Structures are given as C-alpha cells and as structure tokens.
Amino acid sequence: MRKHTSAYSLLVVIFTLTAFTAKCQEGIIQFVLTSDVHYGITRPHFRGADSVSAVVVNEAMIGAINRLPQLTLPDDGGVGAGKPVTAIEALAITGDIANRQEAGIQNAATSWQQFEADYLQKLTIQNSKQQPSPLLVCAGNHDVADALGYWKFDKPADASSLAGMYNRMLVPAQLKTAASYNYTTDKVHFSRDMGGIHLVFVNLWPDSLEQQWIQKDIKGLKPGTPVLLFTHSMPDVEARFFTNPNGEHTINGTDKFENLLPEVFRDGTNVKDTAFYEERGLAAFLKHHPEIKAWFHGHNNWNEFYDWQGPDNTVSLPCFRVDSPMKGRLSAKDEKQLSFQLISIDTHTKAMTVRECRWNTVPADPSVLVWGDNITIPLR
C-alpha cells in the first residue's frame, strides 16, 4: 500500500509540474536568432585555443542553444519573465552560412556539408509539439557571392550553400544542385506562421522585386496579423550589393560591385556611395505596410536594438541586429561578448521581448549562460 501511495504521489507531482509549465507558457511562442555562422574560416581565439575553426565554434554555440530549455527567463518584466524557457519553435539564421571562397577558404559545398552536420544532427531543442525545432535559413551576401562569383575569387563559383538552403526551405519537387541552381529564378524567400504571427524571410535585402514577393505573400493575411521581417542585410544597405551601374554590369575588381541584387545601382557609380534612392523606396514600402512590425538581421554583427527611420525620417521600424559566432564586431575580439537572441512573443497581448543571451562569458565553463540586454515592444 505504501508503494502504491508513493507511486501515485509521484504521478501527481509529475502531472502538476507538467500542467504548471504548460500554463506558464500558454500563449507564448519563442524562437532563437543567430547569423553569419561563416563555415570555412577560423576565429583568432576561442576557449584557450588559437585559429579555431567555425565547426568548433558553432558546435559550442549549438551546445548553448540546447541548454536554453532548462533555463528560466530573467525577471525583467518582459514576455514570460521568471518562467521556464521550455519550448522553442524554431532557430532562425539570417545568412552567411558559407564564407566567401577567397584565397585559402574552402568551397561552399564543404561549408554547407559542415553546417548540415552540425545544425541537423547536434541541435536538440524542441517545439511545443515536442518535435525537433525547425531551422529557418535565408541567404547572406557570402552565400550569394559564392554562387555568382566574386572579383577576388581564385576558384570557380559554387552555388552549393544556396542550393542547399533553397531545397530545405522551399522543398521543390525537383531538388536543386549546385549546377542546376539559378539565382535569377531560385530566390530563397519564404514565410512561416507561428501562433498568429507571420514570419517572412527575404533574399538578402528587400529590393523592389522582393517587395513584390512580400506584398503577394502577406496579401491574404487576417487583418491585424503582425509580420516580422528577416533578412541578412540591415535596412541601410551597402551600395556594393547592387548590380554594377558601369559598362556592361560585370563583376570586376575595378568597380567592385557584386551584383547580389538585380537592381542596377541608382545613386552613383561608386561602391562607397550611399544607397539613398533604394532606401527611400524601401521606406515607402514599409510605410505602406504597417503590419510589418519588426526587422531582424545580421551582416554587420553585434547585439543592437534600434529604430530604422529611413533616409528622410519617414518611418520608424524596430530593428534587431544579432551577433555572429565568427565575425562579431565586439565578440571577434572579446569572446565573452558572444551572444544570440531569444525572442518571446505573447500571442494574446501581441507583446514581443527580445533578449540577448551571452553564451561564452566564462570560456572555461561552457554551462554558463547569461542574460544580457532586452527590450519589449508591442506588435499591435
């Protein structure tokens, strides 16, 4: 009888804790954001070693992400404050999976294979359905340059990383290969719905063609549905990404335009010019689509929360810049600054909290994760 009572009590405790955790997280969705994982290069220093490969560093970050469900959110007044993290609906990575194939850098095919081996085999986080949390990956300028060629290249172009992410994100009936992938037609842009929130992943930066695709994608959404935008580049786009306005629009070492975006650059003929024309077009698009509530990006990497107001202060869009495990502006020199972001959204109140998670503040103790900066914004 005593054994029966103990077993029964244990079941009650388990049921109560499970119900408590579910109640704590009811109506909350969460996902992790990182960027610029740059397989193919090394960090100068990491955890006591020099020239550490992207494989080692990314595996360490994956280990930190895997520990998130055991953590409690900080008591900071944000969404889910003081409650267990538990389920993570997705891991988003905003590009630069492979580093550019410049001198001494491995090809994109090898980098994509390493990425898949790490992020598909070693990630253990689960969503609220207790399924493996999906990867949501969009293209970065290095991925696109690998596919198109680059003025510094000493080897043939290799579209392997773009073909790989296209296959994984868009799941075409006929899978693309590095040889069959066509950057002109095979854009890595897609969307996902999570708890009444619409996540839109754009190819590199929302130029006029991507704006047309976004407009078509969000056209049928229920009124009041918040849209979150994910790109590799920040809103203040670099001129070099556009198609060369000089001569025959070639990629060459004199002009140094990279032709990553199909639009011919309109603001001048120099890669150092500011892309005011293109940014004004973007600002007008965002003003016309107030359902777009926030923008997440990488490219120039550190943890930053800011409002983009456009070149003429005509819009105000909350933006979230995320760090890189390999090329962070601060963390590349100080490994204790390495971080990713955890985004928590209350689907009832439409509030969103973005929290920085510093995962290497004690390099000698990988188990330590520290909450850094945070901000809460409305999505209504």
pLDDT-derived band at 156 (thresholds 50, 70, 90) equals: confident
Report the Cα 98 to chain-centroid distance in Å: 14
Distance CA 152, CA 53 (A): 22
pLDDT of residue 8: 37
Q: Check whether 60 has a pLDDT greater than 70.
A: yes
- Taking every pair of Cα atoms in the chain, the longest distance, rounded to a whole number of angstroms, is 90
How confident is the model over 5-31, as a mean pLDDT? Answer: 51
Q: What is the rounded distance in angstroms from the CA atom of residue 184 to the CA atom of residue 182?
A: 5
The 10s digit of each residue's pLDDT in 255-305 is: 999 999 999 999 999 999 999 999 999 999 999 999 999 999 999 999 999
Per-residue pLDDT, 344: 98
Is it the case that residue 212 has pLDDT exceeding 60? yes
Choice between 12 and 203, residue whose per-residue pLDDT is larger: 203
Q: pLDDT band at 2, cuts 50/70/90?
A: very low
pLDDT at 59 over 60: yes
**What is the pLDDT, as a whole number, of residue 247?**
87
Question: In Å, what is the CA distance from 37 to each residue of 158, 243, 254?
Answer: 18, 26, 29
pLDDT of residue 137: 98
pTM tops 0.85? yes
Question: By CB neighbour count within 10 A (0-12 exposed, 13-18 middle, 19+ buried), where does 372 fall?
Answer: middle
Tell me the pLDDT tens digit for each residue of 231-261: 999 999 999 999 999 989 999 999 999 999 9
Judge contact between 317 and 50, C-beta under 8 A: no
- Identify the residue with better confidence: 58 or 22: 58
Q: What is the pLDDT of residues 69-102, one digit of tens each?
A: 999 999 999 999 999 999 999 999 999 999 999 9
Q: What is the rounded average pLDDT of the residues 16-43? A: 76
pLDDT on residue 190: 98
pLDDT (mean) for 162-169? 98
Residue 105, pLDDT > 90, answer: yes
Residue 14 predicted with pLDDT over 60:
no
Q: For the segment 183-202, what is each residue's pLDDT rounded down to a tens digit?
A: 999 999 999 999 999 999 99
Helix axes 54-67, 108-121, angle to 10 degrees: 20
Cα–Cα distance for residue pair 38/42, rounded to 1 Å: 9
Rg over CA atoms, the chain: 22
What pLDDT is recorded for position 22?
40
Enter the DSSP assignment of 240: G
Mean pLDDT in residue range 33-60: 98
Q: Where are the domains of the chain?
A: 27-237+275-378
Q: What is the pLDDT of residue 15?
A: 38
Choose among 123, 137, 15: nearest CA to 69: 123
Res 373 pLDDT > 70: yes
Residue from 352, 328, 354 nearest 339 by CA: 328
Judge residue 24's burial from the number of C-beta atoms within 10 Å of its C-beta, 0-12 exposed, 13-18 middle, 19 or more buried: middle
Measure the CA–CA gap between 113 and 132, rounded to whole angstroms. Answer: 20
Q: How far is CA 231 from CA 55, 136, 137, 200, 321, in A?
A: 23, 11, 10, 9, 10
Domain 27-237+275-378, CATH homologous superfamily name and number: Metallo-dependent phosphatases (3.60.21.10)
